[in-house]
Amino acid sequence: MVATTSACSSGVRADGPLRVGGDDADEPFARDCAPAQPGKTTVTMNNGPIFNDADERLTISAVSMVEAREMSLIEAVLVPDEGPTNGARYPQPPEKAGAGWPDRVPAEGAVLQPGDEWWFVVGLAAEGPTPSVRRFQVDYVDESGQRYRARTGTSIAVRPKCIGVEIDWPEGW
């Protein structure tokens, strides 16, 4: 008698059912600049909706930055209604936080039911004169244990002035 087993790949797939505005094959499709203010070292970025397009629950296991320069991630949260104002300090003052802010949940560990849509918001700390991040990555797992990753489609820079100037994006962006 011969026993055979089949193992499924334990690799991380990039073609999963969580929609966050980008994927591994795409270059970021948008660039946002948040104006720095004297003494301001934190910024809020609302990355738009995050949507579970699966027929099963998905659990977010990690959120990270892709190609971050002079920037660190303070916190990543999911907000049930359209999120807070881009560019506001983090955490936001109540008038800029948006109606859903009191009901936010940490992104890491969040369980998204089929069809769930939340707004994906990050708090960032600028740590140098030209901070930027190419994208944000969301790692998640489905009910069978298959691991996935999804990436946002927007690059972020924090500069003293954003309008009427050429932003000095890192080379290759």
Note the pLDDT tens digit of each residue in 102-131: 999 999 999 999 999 999 999 999 998 889
Show me where the domains of the chain are located.
18-159
Host H or E run for residue 85? none
**The predicted structure's pLDDT at residue 8:** 45
Task: For 49-68, write each residue's pLDDT tens digit.
Answer: 999 999 999 999 999 999 99
The CATH superfamily of 18-159 is Immunoglobulins (2.60.40.10)
Distant-in-sequence, close-in-space partners of 88: CB < 8 Å, separation ≥ 6? 43, 44, 96, 97
Residue 109 region by backbone torsions, left for phi larger than 0, else alpha for psi between -120 and 50, else beta: left
Report which DSSP code applies to 13: B
**The predicted structure's pLDDT at residue 38:** 60
**The predicted structure's pLDDT at residue 129:** 86
